[in-house]
Amino acid sequence: MGEVEAALSDNSTVKEAIVVVLGESEHKRLVAYIVPIEPSVEKGKLPGYSFIGGQIDPVQTKQVFGKPSEEDTSIPQQLHEHLQGKLPQYMLPNDYVLMDVFPLTANGKVNRKALPAPEVSVQKRSFQPPSTPIEEKLAGIWATILELEVNQVGVNDNFFDLGGNSLLATQLISKIRQFYQVDLPLSDFFEEPTIAGLVEHIEVISWMAQDIQYSETTHIKEIEL
């Protein structure tokens, strides 16, 4: 978490940053808690933000009421874009929570157990549902791995923004190998972690495999002649 916190603290809008892992086993999420240099959060209201498909989806923590202002939402958006230029996709926080101050223990250290847990929303502003058989199949696989409803998975949604991580990505690649008999490098998926990107990779790899098989068959026939 230190690398993510350091990258966040390197941004000029951040006074303090803490990144924690929430969730159990493979269903873990990175949550970034931010104290801005110029707090714009009304006292007692701590807006949380989930990133779905690279876009902010404002959500409220369980302790909070009211909606964040447009000024508030610009901070997490800026930080998310800032981190995209410094960290790999799987290290980007899934959620951001702005705070006036961090809760402290009696010893003056940050009380991580007292940090509010953001509620996660899986709605997306420009949701595009799967429309082809392969997109529908992949959406079903994603939904199973991420423990979502299949209608919550769009073809342009980012796997990591929906709660995925490197371990779940490995499971996904294994499922793709099982169903489509293609070996998709994990690094390729990290570069384009969407269903649309997967479809393109699967089609290209399948086409290349068929082309190689055709070439080998033709070569064998030529030898026999």
With beta carbons less than 8 A apart as the criterion, state whether 83 and 51 touch: no
For residue 23, what are its two tokens? 């969730």
Q: Any bridge partners for residue 58, and if so which?
A: 49
Q: How far is CA 105 from the centre of its chain?
A: 31
How far separated are the first and last CA of the chain, in Å rounded?
63
Residue 36 DSSP class: E
Separation of alpha carbons 55 and 49, rounded Å: 10
What pLDDT sits at residue 54? 45
Separation of alpha carbons 7 and 23, rounded Å: 23
Separation of alpha carbons 103 and 100, rounded Å: 10
| Amino acid letter, 222 | E
What pLDDT sits at residue 198? 94
What pLDDT sits at residue 93? 87
Classify strands 27-36 and 95-98 as parallel, antiparallel or unpaired. parallel
For residue 153, what are its two tokens? 């998975």
Phi-psi sector, 17: left (phi>0), alpha (psi -120 to 50), beta: beta
What pLDDT sits at residue 81? 85
Domains and CATH numbers, the chain: 2-114 (3.30.300.30), 133-224 (1.10.1200.10)
Question: CB-hemisphere CA count at 13 Å for 4?
Answer: 22
pTM of the model: 0.57
Helices within the chain (DSSP H only): 2-9, 70-84, 133-146, 166-180, 186-191, 195-224
What pLDDT sits at residue 135? 95
Classify strands 95-98 and 55-60 as parallel, antiparallel or unpaired. unpaired
Q: From first to last of the 225 residues of the chain, give the pLDDT tens digit.
A: 789 999 999 988 899 999 998 877 666 788 899 998 875 544 444 455 555 444 444 443 333 323 445 455 577 878 888 898 888 888 888 888 888 889 999 998 999 889 887 755 444 446 899 999 999 999 999 999 998 899 989 999 989 888 888 889 999 999 999 998 888 888 889 888 999 999 998 888 776 655 545 454 554 445 555
What pLDDT sits at residue 181? 87
All residues at 6 or more sequence positions from 163 whose CB lies less than 8 Å from its CB, including other chains: 23, 27, 29, 94, 120, 146, 147, 148
All residues at 6 or more sequence positions from 65 whose CB lies less than 8 Å from its CB, including other chains: 45
For residue 155, what are its two tokens? 């073809």
